[in-house]
Amino acid sequence: MSAMEAPASPSAPRAFILVMDSLGIGATADAARFGDAGANTLGHIARGCHRGQGDRDGLRRGPLAIPNLLRLGLGHALQECTGAPVEGIEMPPSVTGAYGHCAEVSAGKDTPSGHWEIAGLPVEFDWTCFPDTVPAFPETLSDELVRRGRLPGILGNCHASGTAILRELGEAHIRSGKPIVYTSADSVLQIAAHETHFGLERLLSLCEIAREMVDPLNVGRVIARPFVGDSADTFARTGNRRDYTTPPHGPTLLDALQHGGGDVVAVGKIRDIFAGRGIGRSIKVHGNMALFDATLEAAREQPHKPTLVFTNFVDFDTLYGHRRDLPGYAAALEAMDRRLPELEALLRPGDIAVITADHGCDPSWPGSDHTREHIPALFFGPGVSPGSLGLRHSFADIGQTLAGFFRLAPLGSGQSFYPQLNPNGR
């Protein structure tokens, strides 16, 4: 009988994956292919704060203050990635975590690819992306969406920043009843509509129709972008966003753990990203601090079977990275950093946690898209041996390492460094 098939125990192993969505730590070797050579989300935030570019009255001032993340090894991982000291990062005298930086194997720099690769399933094929033209969508697709959705037409039909297009077209949407349909550099079709004037349920139904329509095109996601407000100055997106993602094309760590008798608790948009695959329980809350609260609640539980708690902290990406808001990003990093000791205090002997990301979104970079960067891998917990994990050649090393932690059969991709994390075993 394997460890995963053994009778349930009150000391069942637990792992926590905390994805700081978009916290890249330096351009990858292939970044030039994406127009991202030189991008560095964390490095440029630290440098900007050191030079006063991160100051904002009523929000924050001064150098970037993330002592707990640095103690876990984030600064060391950043410096190993860049090969030189980073302006605005003061290295701690010692670290308590095992730290590394991971390059991406997947063909894109999108959210599903990053998360699936973390879970041991790289996306080595190309998603279909819509061209940066007007119109962006094929006429047959637009016409079919109008027909099946019983719409008076659509607005947008272009590449756009989600907040900018609300300011531009939100009022016209309310007047006309036409939803705003747009895309980006990712493989995505997004539909924005007013929760009251158009209706939230109607928007979600429309996105389900769109998901069916783009399946043959190999499009990664359809995203519902509901918003509220009365004018361009007051429009704001709500927490009722919904991602309709194509299911993973193969098994992931989540599937393996479920099939082995364990459980997966998805916090935030994790369930959407994996299209529900391998998820035992999903907790949907809005905002980084609420997401952290939900993660702490899960950490206070006493599971009776091996459990993975998987959380995506989306605000870093949607509120600050895409909006190129360096002070906001810095303040959000500092807010999360202050709360990390709360999670550390709840980790029990045998638990393990990792802080990572799914791509970059450098707030100092031109445009509003993701950036092709390494991601951090910061492992910590009562039994974790601190030190450098070096360069990892795939995000999948994280998933493979957790498969080793849970004593699962090896995943299809990635190299485990679990023995290095816990040389004495658990």
pLDDT digits (tens, 9 = 90+) for 195-226: 999 999 999 999 999 999 999 999 999 999 99
pLDDT in tens, 283-325: 999 999 999 999 999 999 999 999 999 999 999 999 999 999 9
Pair (161, 309) in one structural domain:
no
Domain that holds residue 162: 139-245
Pair (78, 188) in one structural domain:
no
In a domain, 333, yes or no: yes
For residue 146, give Cα distances in angstroms to 39, 153, 206: 39, 6, 10
Confidence category of residue 7, pLDDT binned at 50, 70, 90? very low
Residues 6+ apart with CB under 8 A from 196: 228
The tokens for 185 are 């550099």
Residues 6+ apart with CB under 8 A from 395: 102, 103, 104, 105, 106, 114, 117, 118, 122, 356, 358, 375, 414
The tokens for 180 are 């705003």
Quote the percentage of the chain above a pLDDT of 90: 93
pLDDT at position 425, please?
60
Radius of gyration of the chain (CA): 21
Q: For position 150, which CATH number holds?
A: 3.30.70.1250
Picking from 214, 245, 276, the residue at the C-terminal end of a domain is 245
In a domain, 134, yes or no: no
Pair (271, 379) in one structural domain:
yes
Domain count, the chain: 2
pLDDT in tens, 251-288: 999 999 999 999 999 999 999 999 999 999 999 999 99
In a domain, 379, yes or no: yes
In a domain, 410, yes or no: yes
pLDDT in tens, 144-198: 999 999 999 999 999 999 989 999 999 999 999 999 999 999 999 999 999 999 9
The tokens for 15 are 């792992």
Pair (219, 271) in one structural domain:
no
CB neighbour class for 376 (10 Å; exposed up to 12, middle 13-18, buried from 19) = buried
Picking from 217, 245, 273, the residue at the C-terminal end of a domain is 245
Q: For position 109, which CATH number holds?
A: 3.40.720.10
- Computed over every residue of the chain, the mean pLDDT equals 95
pLDDT in tens, 32-46: 999 999 999 999 999
Mean pLDDT of 11-29: 96
DSSP states along 18-37: EEETT---SB-TTGGGGT-T
Pair (299, 217) in one structural domain:
no
Q: Is 50 exceeded by the pLDDT of residue 6? A: no
Mean pLDDT of 53-64: 98
CA distance 121 to 256: 12
Q: How many CB atoms lie within 10 A of CB 348?
A: 12
At 157, is the secondary structure helix, strand, or coil? Answer: strand
Pair (306, 269) in one structural domain:
yes
Confidence category of residue 426, pLDDT binned at 50, 70, 90? low
Confidence category of residue 18, pLDDT binned at 50, 70, 90? very high
In a domain, 24, yes or no: yes
Pair (415, 286) in one structural domain:
yes
Pair (159, 119) in one structural domain:
no
Q: Is 50 exceeded by the pLDDT of residue 2? A: no
pLDDT at position 79, please?
97
Cα of 178 vs its chain's centroid, Å: 30
DSSP 348: P
CA distance 138 to 184: 15
In a domain, 130, yes or no: no
Q: Is 80 exceeded by the pLDDT of residue 83? A: yes
Pair (192, 315) in one structural domain:
no
Mean pLDDT of 74-99: 96
